[in-house]
Amino acid sequence: MQFRDLKRQYYILKEDIDQAIQNVLTTGNYISGIQVIELEKQLAKYVGVKHCITCANGTDALSLALMAWNIGGGDAVFVPDFTFFASGESVAHRGAAPIFVDVNADSFNMSPDSLEKAIIKVLDEKKLNPKVIVAVDLFGQPADYPEIRRIAKKYHLLVLEDGAQGFGGKIGKQRACSFGDISTTSFFPAKPLGCYGDGGAVFTDNDEWASLMRSYRIHGKGADKYDNVRIGINSRLDTLQAAVLQIKLQAFEKYELEAVNDAAERYSQNLKDVVKIPQIKEGFYSSWAQYSILLSNENIRKDLQVYLKEKGIPTMIYYSKPMSQQTAFEGMDTVKIELSVTEQLCRQVLSLPLSPYIQQGEQDKVICCIKKFFETRPCEYI
């Protein structure tokens, strides 16, 4: 059993993907081919924004946004404590201070209450200038943007949506990657929409920022690639990856989102009385990058993970350590607040196999094994 079955996806899409790759190989336009331009238009239309700028990976996408806003030393950027390292790393790489914010236990996303407390503390200490909120759409569900944007407006902050795991999610009819002043996503293979290597994209309705990010991603180019008007980076999505993504985007829109939501619902209906299942807020729609359950404590999680592995069932822990406790951030001049929910989640969370291509028999095996594990364990495991 695969944790996220990319092999089965390729088998189903093989004919179209192989042809798309062959077209690139035949024309020889490996960098900045027409497929990249077409994909950017398709992604912008799907998300519902004016500009999409593709780049080399999701981390670069975050960096490009921060570069466009000239974020740097002395600036405070608010980041959820329960997320992948890149959300805070890109902030620190710009010389700014990542201020870690707690999350809600039910959604795994940034807590608006914790965010506002962190902003007030930064303002009170007067060491840093609050500039940006990085809101992460963790595990596929958009963050609470109605509340986050209310807070951002109150304190005059920019919102950067980290939609690396959220592409395809929605609040009402509005799609993920359109909630930020700038929004980003990742096309890492295991993401909801993934390529066959690294890739990323930035989304915005702002013409000036879009122009800056197009320049920054190609060495700060001006009129052409040999006219360099600013210091930039080398961060292009190659044509092969764009060609693959064009095919995958069609499947993603046509049936994959519905299929993965059906699979998540099957887990929820069968496991809701056994473990704590993920909760989707009313009016929200998840693209289910992960299906993450919560166990009572770290020892039970470890025992269950070992038991499932013995049965041929892969699992993953996202995430075992809070961002604020990562060695790389030690000694940084930052502002600290209570992060108890994140600390607890890191001891409880366990992600189960899930993809649009998971078969019902595979899910039945996962569900059966989890139920059997708890049936044969002492009551303190429940």
pLDDT of residue 380: 56
Q: In this model, does residue 381 exceed pLDDT 80?
A: no
Give the type of residue at 126.
Answer: K
At 377 the pLDDT is 76
- Give me the pLDDT at residue 333, please: 73
Instruction: Please state the pTM of the whole predicted model.
Output: 0.96
Domains and CATH numbers, the chain: 6-248 (3.40.640.10), 255-381 (3.90.1150.10)
Maximum Cα–Cα distance for the chain, whole Å?
69
CA-CA-CA-CA torsion sign (23, 217, 165, 330) = positive
What are 284-337's pLDDT values in tens digits? Answer: 999 999 999 999 999 999 999 999 999 999 999 999 999 999 999 998 877 888
The answer to whether residues 285 and 312 touch, using CB atoms and an 8 Å cutoff, is: no
Nearest of 178, 175, 364 to residue 252 by alpha carbon: 175
Label residue 269 exposed, middle or buried (CB < 10 Å: 0-12, 13-18, 19+): exposed
Q: What is the DSSP string of 125-189?
A: HTSSEEEEEEEE-GGGPPP-HHHHHHHHHHHT-EEEEE-TTTTT-EETTEETTSSSSEEEEE--T
Question: Between β-strands 291-294 and 97-101, what pairing exists: parallel, antiparallel or unpaired?
Answer: unpaired
Show the tokens assigned to 150.
């209310």
Would you place residue 378 in the very low, low, confident or very high pLDDT band (cuts 50, 70, 90)? Answer: low
Radius of gyration of the chain (CA): 21
| pLDDT exceeds 90 at position 14 | yes
Band of pLDDT at residue 99, cut at 50, 70 and 90: very high
Q: How high is the pLDDT of residue 335?
A: 81
* 92, 162, 293 from 351: Cα distances, Å: 28, 20, 6
- State the chain's mean pLDDT as an integer: 96
Q: Is the pLDDT assigned to residue 379 strictly greater than 80?
A: no
pLDDT band at 382 (very low <50, low <70, confident <90, very high): very low
**The predicted structure's pLDDT at residue 27:** 94
The answer to whether 160 and 181 are in contact (CB under 8 A) is yes
- The DSSP output letter for 33 is -
The neighbouring-strand residues paired with 101 are 80
Going by DSSP bridges, is the β-strand pair 97-101/75-80 parallel, antiparallel, or unpaired?
parallel
Q: Which amino acid is at 303?
A: D
User: What local confidence, expressed as pLDDT, does residue 246 receive?
Assistant: 98
Q: Would you state the pLDDT for residue 224?
A: 85
Reported as a single tens digit per residue, the pLDDT across 40-96 is 999 999 999 999 999 999 999 999 999 999 999 999 999 999 999 999 999 999 999
pLDDT value of residue 110: 98
Q: Which residue's entry shows tokens 């209310």?
A: 150
pLDDT digits (tens, 9 = 90+) for 207-256: 999 999 999 999 999 988 889 999 999 999 999 999 999 999 999 999 99
Neighbours of 45 (CB within 10 A): 10
- β pairing state of 182-186 and 200-204: antiparallel
**How far is the C-alpha of 290 from the C-alpha of 82, rounded, in Å?**
14
Mean pLDDT score, 177-203? 98
> Phi and psi at residue 337, in whole multiples of 5°?
-130, 175
Strand partners of residue 76: 97, 130
pLDDT tens-digit readout, 25-42: 999 999 999 999 999 999
Predicted local distance difference test score (pLDDT) of residue 143: 98
- For 107-152, what is each residue's pLDDT tens digit? 999 999 999 999 999 999 999 999 999 999 999 999 999 999 999 9
CA–CA distance, 100 with 323 (Å, rounded to integer): 7
Would you say residue 338 has pLDDT above 70?
Answer: yes
Is 234 in a helix, a strand, or coil? strand
**DSSP H stretches of helix in the chain:** 6-27, 34-47, 58-68, 86-93, 112-125, 145-155, 207-216, 239-251, 257-271, 298-310, 340-348, 360-375
Q: What share of the chain is helix, strand, coil (3-state, %, to 5)?
A: 45, 15, 40
